[in-house]
């Protein structure tokens, strides 16, 4: 998907917004702790302004290309955040199994029709993959993974 966007202005505005977010809480910070971030914030602002000006005078790119399907991109992005959000509720193992099945099903549909029989065929592979990593981390590396409501 091609989106018309002046990348110089976009980068400049992003820099200014990022700078503003850090600029306002600086008043409560002591001199020794703010002296360096303040200098960098100043440089960031100058670079951002330069980018915005350049965007108007001599823009380097007027469009961006999102390769592939934007819908799939957003869905997978949301999926990752849901995976993260649900780990502490359902526990790592259950959430990962659900997320793994869901992602595999969703992504495989790009290439082929995913029937229940096919999902059943993939089940042992997915179970093995998740179990191997789960057991490696919990039993070998002694990492206590979140358990959530179930296990």
Site string for another protein, 57-96 (x = CB under 8 A): ---xx--xxxxxxx-xx--xx--xx-xx--xx---x---x
Does 140 bind another protein (CB under 8 A)? Our answer is yes
Among 17, 20, 33, 123, binds another protein (CB under 8 A): 33
Q: How many whole angstroms separate alpha carbon 27 and alpha carbon 95? A: 42
Does 4 bind another protein (CB under 8 A)? Our answer is no
CB of 151 to another protein, least distance (A): 17
Helices (H) then strands (E): counts for the chain: 5, 2
Q: Do residues 146 and 88 touch, judged by C-beta distance below 8 A?
A: yes
Q: Do residues 52 and 12 touch, judged by C-beta distance below 8 A?
A: yes
Residue 28 phi, psi dihedral angles, 5° rounding: -85, 0
Among 56, 127, 146, 150, binds another protein (CB under 8 A): 146
Residues 39-58 that bind another protein (CB under 8 A): 39-41, 43-44, 47-48, 50-51, 54
What is the Cα 33 distance to its own chain's centre?
Answer: 30
E strand segments, the chain? 2-4, 63-65
CB of 100 to another protein, least distance (A): 5
Among 94, 108, 119, 147, binds another protein (CB under 8 A): 108
């Amino acid at each position: 998907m091609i989106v018309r966007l002046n990348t110089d202005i976009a980068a400049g505005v992003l820099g200014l917004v990022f700078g503003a977010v850090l600029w306002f809480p600086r008043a409560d910070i002591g001199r020794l702790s703010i002296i360096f971030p303040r200098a960098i914030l100043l440089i960031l602002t100058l670079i951002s302004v330069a980018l915005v000006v350049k965007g108007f005078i001599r823009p380097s790119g007027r469009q961006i290309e999102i390769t592939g399907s934007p819908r799939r991109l957003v869905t997978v992005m949301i999926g990752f955040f849901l995976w993260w959000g649900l780990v502490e509720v359902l526990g790592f193992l259950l959430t990962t199994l659900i997320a793994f099945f869901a992602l595999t099903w969703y992504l495989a549909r790009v290439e082929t029709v995913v029937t229940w029989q096919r999902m059943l065929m993939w089940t042992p592979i997915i179970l093995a993959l998740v179990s191997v990593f789960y057991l490696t981390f919990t039993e070998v590396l002694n990492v206590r993974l979140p358990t959530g409501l179930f296990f």
